[in-house]
Amino acid sequence: MANETRRVILHPAPAYAATPISQAIGLMFARDAGGAGHSVVFPFSVPKRDAVSMFFVRDPIDILLLDGDFRVMCMRERLLPWQVWLLPVHASYMIELPAGVIQSSRTAIGDVIALPAPDRCVHMWTLREYVLFFAFQTAVFAILLIIAAG
Protein backbone atom coordinates (compact mmCIF):
# COMPACT_ATOMS: atom_id res chain seq x y z
CA MET A 1 0.00 0.00 0.00
CA ALA A 2 1.48 3.33 -1.03
CA ASN A 3 0.87 7.05 -1.05
CA GLU A 4 1.03 7.70 -4.81
CA THR A 5 1.11 11.47 -4.37
CA ARG A 6 4.21 11.38 -2.14
CA ARG A 7 5.67 8.22 -3.74
CA VAL A 8 6.17 6.47 -0.41
CA ILE A 9 5.21 3.04 0.89
CA LEU A 10 2.75 3.22 3.79
CA HIS A 11 2.77 -0.49 4.59
CA PRO A 12 4.11 -3.48 2.65
CA ALA A 13 1.37 -6.00 3.49
CA PRO A 14 -1.99 -4.70 4.71
CA ALA A 15 -4.76 -7.06 5.71
CA TYR A 16 -8.32 -6.63 4.43
CA ALA A 17 -11.25 -6.56 6.85
CA ALA A 18 -14.03 -7.13 4.36
CA THR A 19 -16.65 -8.87 6.53
CA PRO A 20 -18.79 -7.15 9.16
CA ILE A 21 -17.26 -9.28 11.92
CA SER A 22 -13.67 -8.61 10.86
CA GLN A 23 -14.51 -4.90 10.63
CA ALA A 24 -15.98 -4.96 14.14
CA ILE A 25 -12.91 -6.71 15.54
CA GLY A 26 -10.21 -4.90 13.54
CA LEU A 27 -6.93 -4.80 15.50
CA MET A 28 -8.41 -5.91 18.82
CA PHE A 29 -5.98 -8.20 20.64
CA ALA A 30 -3.34 -7.84 17.88
CA ARG A 31 0.22 -7.82 19.14
CA ASP A 32 2.35 -4.85 18.03
CA ALA A 33 -0.61 -3.18 16.29
CA GLY A 34 1.00 0.22 16.41
CA GLY A 35 4.63 -0.79 16.09
CA ALA A 36 6.18 -2.20 12.94
CA GLY A 37 3.12 -4.41 12.92
CA HIS A 38 -0.24 -4.33 11.35
CA SER A 39 -2.15 -2.37 8.78
CA VAL A 40 -5.79 -3.04 7.95
CA VAL A 41 -7.92 -1.81 5.04
CA PHE A 42 -11.66 -1.55 5.70
CA PRO A 43 -13.55 -1.37 2.38
CA PHE A 44 -17.13 -0.20 2.89
CA SER A 45 -19.83 -1.22 0.39
CA VAL A 46 -21.40 2.23 0.76
CA PRO A 47 -19.67 5.32 2.19
CA LYS A 48 -19.91 5.05 5.94
CA ARG A 49 -19.69 7.40 8.88
CA ASP A 50 -19.03 5.22 11.89
CA ALA A 51 -16.93 5.11 15.04
CA VAL A 52 -13.55 3.56 15.71
CA SER A 53 -13.30 1.84 19.07
CA MET A 54 -9.82 1.25 20.44
CA PHE A 55 -11.03 -1.16 23.13
CA PHE A 56 -8.52 -4.02 23.53
CA VAL A 57 -6.16 -2.49 20.95
CA ARG A 58 -2.78 -2.46 22.66
CA ASP A 59 -0.93 0.31 20.79
CA PRO A 60 -1.72 3.73 19.28
CA ILE A 61 -2.54 3.75 15.57
CA ASP A 62 -2.92 6.21 12.70
CA ILE A 63 -6.12 6.24 10.61
CA LEU A 64 -6.76 7.42 7.05
CA LEU A 65 -10.27 7.91 5.63
CA LEU A 66 -10.53 7.72 1.84
CA ASP A 67 -13.24 8.59 -0.65
CA GLY A 68 -14.23 6.36 -3.58
CA ASP A 69 -11.34 7.74 -5.65
CA PHE A 70 -8.81 6.70 -2.95
CA ARG A 71 -8.14 10.31 -1.94
CA VAL A 72 -7.44 11.07 1.71
CA MET A 73 -10.46 12.94 3.11
CA CYS A 74 -9.53 12.90 6.78
CA MET A 75 -6.86 11.46 9.03
CA ARG A 76 -6.18 10.89 12.70
CA GLU A 77 -2.73 10.45 14.16
CA ARG A 78 -1.94 8.41 17.27
CA LEU A 79 -5.41 7.28 18.29
CA LEU A 80 -4.73 5.83 21.74
CA PRO A 81 -5.90 2.55 23.28
CA TRP A 82 -9.33 2.73 24.94
CA GLN A 83 -10.38 5.84 22.97
CA VAL A 84 -13.36 6.12 20.63
CA TRP A 85 -13.25 8.31 17.53
CA LEU A 86 -16.43 9.27 15.69
CA LEU A 87 -15.61 9.52 11.99
CA PRO A 88 -16.25 13.10 10.86
CA VAL A 89 -16.93 12.15 7.21
CA HIS A 90 -18.59 9.39 5.17
CA ALA A 91 -15.66 7.27 3.95
CA SER A 92 -15.47 4.56 1.30
CA TYR A 93 -12.31 3.14 2.86
CA MET A 94 -10.71 3.33 6.26
CA ILE A 95 -7.07 2.35 6.79
CA GLU A 96 -5.54 1.60 10.17
CA LEU A 97 -1.76 2.03 10.20
CA PRO A 98 1.00 1.77 12.79
CA ALA A 99 1.36 5.02 14.76
CA GLY A 100 3.72 7.50 13.13
CA VAL A 101 3.15 6.44 9.51
CA ILE A 102 1.14 9.57 8.64
CA GLN A 103 3.90 11.84 9.93
CA SER A 104 6.84 9.88 8.50
CA SER A 105 5.19 9.59 5.06
CA ARG A 106 4.03 13.24 5.12
CA THR A 107 0.58 12.05 4.04
CA ALA A 108 -1.86 14.96 3.65
CA ILE A 109 -5.51 15.60 2.79
CA GLY A 110 -6.03 15.06 -0.95
CA ASP A 111 -3.20 12.54 -1.38
CA VAL A 112 -4.05 9.47 -3.46
CA ILE A 113 -3.48 6.09 -1.82
CA ALA A 114 -2.81 2.96 -3.90
CA LEU A 115 -4.35 -0.13 -2.32
CA PRO A 116 -3.30 -3.64 -3.33
CA ALA A 117 -5.97 -5.85 -4.88
CA PRO A 118 -7.91 -7.70 -2.16
CA ASP A 119 -6.92 -11.07 -3.63
CA ARG A 120 -3.25 -10.21 -2.99
CA CYS A 121 -3.79 -9.49 0.72
CA VAL A 122 -4.29 -11.47 3.87
CA HIS A 123 -7.91 -11.53 4.96
CA MET A 124 -8.52 -11.19 8.67
CA TRP A 125 -10.09 -13.74 10.94
CA THR A 126 -10.69 -17.28 9.75
CA LEU A 127 -13.84 -19.14 10.80
CA ARG A 128 -11.83 -20.93 13.49
CA GLU A 129 -10.68 -17.61 14.93
CA TYR A 130 -14.27 -16.28 14.95
CA VAL A 131 -15.40 -19.35 16.88
CA LEU A 132 -12.56 -19.04 19.40
CA PHE A 133 -13.19 -15.31 19.84
CA PHE A 134 -16.91 -15.76 20.49
CA ALA A 135 -16.29 -18.74 22.79
CA PHE A 136 -13.87 -16.60 24.80
CA GLN A 137 -16.32 -13.69 24.86
CA THR A 138 -19.14 -15.99 26.02
CA ALA A 139 -16.95 -17.46 28.78
CA VAL A 140 -16.01 -13.99 30.04
CA PHE A 141 -19.67 -12.94 30.02
CA ALA A 142 -20.66 -16.08 31.96
CA ILE A 143 -17.94 -15.44 34.56
CA LEU A 144 -19.11 -11.84 34.97
CA LEU A 145 -22.70 -13.03 35.46
CA ILE A 146 -21.59 -15.53 38.12
CA ILE A 147 -19.60 -12.84 39.93
CA ALA A 148 -22.50 -10.38 39.74
CA ALA A 149 -24.94 -12.99 41.07
CA GLY A 150 -22.74 -13.30 44.12
Q: Are 71 and 110 in contact (CB under 8 A)?
A: yes
* φ, ψ (nearest 5 deg) of residue 41: -100, 130
Domain spanning 2-124, CATH class: mainly beta
Q: Are 73 and 95 in contact (CB under 8 A)?
A: no
Q: Is 27 or 101 the better-scoring residue by pLDDT?
A: 101
Rounded to whole angstroms, the Cα distance separating 120 from 20 reads: 20
Q: What's the whole-number average pLDDT of the chain? A: 87
Edge to edge, the sheet with strand 2-3 lists 8-9, 2-3, 113-114
- Residue 124 predicted with pLDDT over 90: no
- Domain residue spans of the chain: 2-124
65 residue type, one letter: L
Q: Is 146 or 13 the better-scoring residue by pLDDT?
A: 146
Rounded to whole angstroms, the Cα distance separating 136 from 28 reads: 13
